[in-house]
Structure 1
Amino acid sequence: MAKLPLDAIDKGALAEAAAVLGTRTPEGTVAAALREIVECREPGRAVAGVPEDLPADTALIRMWHKGDAPDGPRAELLDGEIVPRPTPGHFHDLPGRTFVRHTPEPFEAWNGRGLLVADDYRPRADAVVIRSADRPAGNEADWPARIVLAVVETVSTTRTAIRRDREDKRERYAQVGIPVYVIVDPNDATWHVLRLDGRHYVETAKGVFGQDIPMPEPMRFTVRTAGWHPYGGKAA
């Protein structure tokens, strides 16, 4: 595989650079291409300010911190891998948008926020619910998990994405003590509310699109799902 001009990388155009390297398979390929960029560094040169002797995994994390990772396609940093998320359709985005528009005071919901779960694990949740008073005063790209009351993830259609939302993120969010995890699945038009019990989540409510979601303590508000669409189907 040919090396890329360092100028392209220094300008932060990693997404385009990855495309030049060749990303012909769906998920994970861009991350592999980015790793190839790092490993193609010429001796004595630095990529976007990253020392050339830095291990590839560490270099990718450093690029994330510096803002040189591809942000346009909603990239996530998951277990040290930069995983771009394709731009979803509005059926996928509607649940997160509903939380943002209808979460009442003294709470507020945000979508697309990066979460600092670990230094090498910074997912972008479809929605997070926090207390308004806990909103960070600075302009941090990734919010600390300790301020999050609930995280909402809308499941995509691929097996990798389904496993990531239902298993991987469930485990990682529990490890950092996020009290509530809401999984919305347009594949079967269902939603699931999970509450933290010790170090693991336990499902405490579930329903189908069209039924309201009861958010647990301390939030105690409901989220209407009327109008949510299953993939390939009609609104509830």
Structure 2
Amino acid sequence: MTAGSTKRPQMSLDDFEALERGAPETVTLEFIAGKLGVKPVPDGDHGAIFMWLLRQCMQHRPELDLHPEQGLRVEQYRTGRARSDGVLAPVAHFAGQGEWADPAGVLMVVEVTSHNSDSDSRDRNEKRDGYAAAGIPIHLLIDRERHGLMVYSEPEEGKYLDDPAYAYGEMVEIPAPVGITLDTEALKNFSD
């Protein structure tokens, strides 16, 4: 649950983790803001966008890894579980941490929106707020519906203070601690 919320979670964290362990490989479950969520299986454009970003990160910051589908303990008191499309962290940062890693030391999380009705609340709001509450410095949202990117930074008291928006094709500055510039022209190839 988010700070100040009076809503009760749908289930306990232990129940969620037991359910998630037994879920088939075709389903990705998350537990954000006290709600069980099902992440759709990514389509080809989703995968192509992730690979584009992976190549960009490797070129600019070879000492970092962009981990696909990394599970993180998010939200206040670590009562949430999010599986990010990408998590940028130092090489071997997650070694020995298990399926749901502590977000400490993560430099950036990445979400690429999916074409489903739940994407608006989950990718654009709930996960963003969970990442901010966990103190993750940068949250990059690649929004396929809006053909743009949001770069959230400066987390404070569960919110990101800075959130510039960019259209596909623009040069996108990712601030410190990532400190790279993304040429997003190629993202136009993955528009509807």
Task: Bin the TM-score by the shorter chain.
Answer: 0.7 to 0.9
- Give the Cα separation in 2 of the matches to 1:204 and 1:56: 32
Paired residues of 1:187 and 1:231 also in contact (CA < 8 A): no
- Residue identity in the other structure for 1:158: N
Q: Helix, strand or coil: the match of 1:182?
A: strand
* Partner in structure 1 of residue 4 of structure 2: none
Report what 1:31 is aligned to.
Answer: none
1:60 is aligned to 2:12: no
Tell me the secondary structure at the aligned position of residue 72 of structure 1: coil
> Aligned partners of 1:70, 1:190: CA distance in 2, in Å?
32
Instruction: Give the match's secondary structure for 1:91.
Output: helix
CA contact (8 A) 1:189 1:208 kept: yes
Cα separation, 1, equivalents of 2:127 and 2:164: 19
Residue 76 (str. 1) matches residue 33 (str. 2): no
Q: RMSD in angstroms over aligned alpha carbons? A: 2.6
CA contact (8 A) 1:117 1:145 kept: yes
Whether the 8 Å CA contact 2:137–2:177 is kept in 1: the answer is no
What stretches of structure 2 of length at least 5 have no aligned partner? 1-9
Deviations 1:104-139, CA, capped at 9 Å, x for gaps = 22222111111111554211111111122x612216
Distance in 1 (alpha carbons) for counterparts of 2:129 and 2:112: 16
Displacement of 1:150: 0.8
2:87 and 2:32 map into 1 onto residues whose CA distance is 18
**Given that residues 61 and 80 in structure 1 are in contact (C-alpha distance below 8 angstroms), is that contact kept between their aligned partners in structure 2?**
no
**Matched letter for residue 149 of structure 2:** W
CA distance in 2, matches of 1:192, 1:232: 16
Equivalent position SS for 2:169 = coil
- Structure richer in strand, relative to its length: 2
Give the Cα separation in 2 of the matches to 1:93 and 1:82: 24
Matched, 1:169 2:124: no
Q: TM-score, normalised by structure 2?
A: 0.78
Larger RCO (CA under 8 A, 6+ residues apart)? 2
Q: Measure the CA separation in 2 of the matches of 1:108 and 1:184.
A: 19
Q: Which moved more, 1:73-82 or 1:152-161?
A: 73-82
* Residue 175 of structure 1: how far off its partner (Å): 0.8
Find the aligned partners of 1:169 and 1:209 in 2 and give their Cα distance. Answer: 22
In structure 1, distance between residues paired with 2:190 and 2:154: 29
Q: Is 2:104 the counterpart of 1:153? A: no
Aligned residues with identical type, % of pairs = 23
Q: In the alignment, which of 18, 43, 51 is matched to residue 89 of structure 1?
A: 43
* Structure 1 runs not aligned, ≥5 long: 1-54
Structure 1 position 76, deviation (Å): 1.9
Q: How does 1:1-236 map to 2 (within 5 A)?
A: 57=12, 60-64=15-19, 67-103=21-57, 104-117=61-74, 120-132=79-91, 135-138=93-96, 140-199=98-157, 200-229=159-188, 233=192
The residue type paired with residue 166 of structure 2 is G
In the comparison of the two structures, how many residue pairs are matched? 177
Distance in 2 (alpha carbons) for counterparts of 1:158 and 1:77: 18
The alignment partner of 1:135 has SS state of coil
- Residue 197 of structure 1: CA displacement? 4.3
CA deviation after TM superposition for structure 1 residue 74, in Å: 2.4
C-alpha separation in 1, matches of 2:147 and 2:101: 29
Whole-angstrom distance in 2 between the partners of 1:192 and 1:75: 24
- The alpha-carbon deviation at position 222 of structure 1 amounts to 2.0
CA distance in 2: counterparts of 1:137 and 1:59, whole angstroms: 23
